[in-house]
Amino acid sequence: MKKLDMYISKNFIKSFLLSLIAFVNIFILSQLFKIIRYITAGRMSIGESITYILYLLPKIFIEVTPLAILLGSLMCINKMASNLEIISLKTSGISFKRIARYPIIISFLVSLIVFQVMNIVYPKTLSKSRDLRAGRKISETMLPVTKSNAFLRTEDNIIYYIKNINRVENTAKMLEIIKIDKNFENIEEIITAKSGSFDIDKNSWVLKDVVINNFIDKKENAYETYSAPILDKSPSEFITIQGDPEELTNAEIKKSIRDIRVTGGDIKESLSVLGKRYSFPFASFVVSFLGLSLGSRYVRGASAISIALSVGLGYSYYIVQASFEALSVNGILNPFLSGWIPNVIFLGLGLYFMKKAEY
């Protein structure tokens, strides 16, 4: 790294940190009135309110970092432009892309930090902050004892549908089990039973009042009781926790999606959260192009306009991102596609302004 790069990087980091601190303080102040209400209502002590604010910091950091990068990059380059440093560097043959190289690299590294905070730190602190706000000291998620209309597809292409299942008593009522061929094209057998109990020792269901329709042999058989080793899915596998995906890490969300899929649940919200986890952190990298290019030219009296324009563009990103997120939650767009469309749009704008900054 040359002295010029160190100089630009130092100024960029300083401007970014100042902007970050300013935005974080604004968001904390916006929460103070709510926290004061909690204290006066007896829902929190002063110590708990301080802890609550600390738990909010990762969420605030994630939300304001793109704005801090945008404003910080604009302030850094605009200061250099006002001192005629940008035009001097261009005159000496150094392109603007070369000037902006290290701020862009630093912005990408900041995006990676946001990605890790969003994946590891944020889910834990979000859960704890919600517990404090609700007056709970420990957050515990309990599996429900029973479930109606339970659905499960196994890796052996066996589909279970159970009207009512109890994971504590290991019993079920009104079962329908469908066996499908390896290509998942043709039904081989349908088993219906009025009730059943899961034998833990044999690891198999024992069904009662059973009718089996075999589509290969084209036969129908009735049994008072029926059991088969292949019917080995315990009641607990039919009942999964479908909590708030925001409180889960990326790996936990992926596992939750797999579990929900085999039990027939709705995965749109989980997919939307996962899509945002892999797209929103890189907003800081995307908007850095806008901030750097908008601050590249010095025009007397135009600094305030550039700052207002950059902040406006920053909030526009949030509006576009929220709009596409709503489309993904409603199942209209693929969650990963909807998460990256705002990044692509604003990266295009940033590259356009970056090209303009060369002249």
Looking at residue 340, what is its pLDDT?
Answer: 93
Cβ distance 222 to 194 under 8 Å? no
- From the CB of residue 217, how many other CB atoms can be counted at a distance below 10 Å? 10
Tens digit of pLDDT at every position of the chain (359 positions)? 588 889 999 999 999 999 999 999 988 888 888 888 888 877 778 888 888 899 999 999 999 999 999 999 988 888 888 888 888 888 888 888 888 899 999 999 999 999 999 999 999 998 888 877 766 443 444 567 888 888 787 777 888 888 999 988 899 999 999 898 888 788 889 999 999 999 888 889 999 999 999 988 888 999 999 988 888 888 877 776 556 788 888 988 888 787 677 655 667 888 889 999 999 999 999 999 988 888 776 544 455 666 677 778 888 898 998 899 888 887 788 888 998 999 999 999 888 888 887 65
- Each residue of 195-225: pLDDT tens digit? 999 988 888 999 999 999 998 888 899 999 9
- Each residue of 228-239: pLDDT tens digit? 888 888 887 777
- Cα distance between residue 143 and residue 153, in whole Å: 20
Looking at residue 211, what is its pLDDT?
Answer: 92
Q: What is the CA radius of gyration of the chain?
A: 29
Looking at residue 3, what is its pLDDT?
Answer: 85
DSSP 287: H
Looking at residue 288, what is its pLDDT?
Answer: 92
Looking at residue 25, what is its pLDDT?
Answer: 92
Looking at the DSSP bridge assignments, the partners of residue 220 are 213
Looking at residue 238, what is its pLDDT?
Answer: 79
- Cα distance between residue 266 and residue 143, in whole Å: 17
Q: What are the DSSP E strand ranges found in the chain?
A: 146-153, 158-166, 171-180, 187-199, 204-214, 219-227
Looking at residue 239, what is its pLDDT?
Answer: 72
Position 136: which residue type?
Answer: R
Using alpha carbons only, give the angle 117, 121, 123 rounded to the nearest 5 degrees.
Answer: 110
- The gap from C-alpha 95 to its chain's centroid, in whole angstroms, comes to 38
- In the sheet with 158-166, reading across from the earlier edge strand, the strands are 146-153, 158-166, 171-180, 187-199, 204-214, 219-227
Looking at the DSSP bridge assignments, the partners of residue 342 are none
Q: SS3 sequence, 288-341?
A: HHHHHHHCCCCCCCCHHHHHHHHHHHHHHHHHHHHHHHHHHHCCCCCHHHHHHH
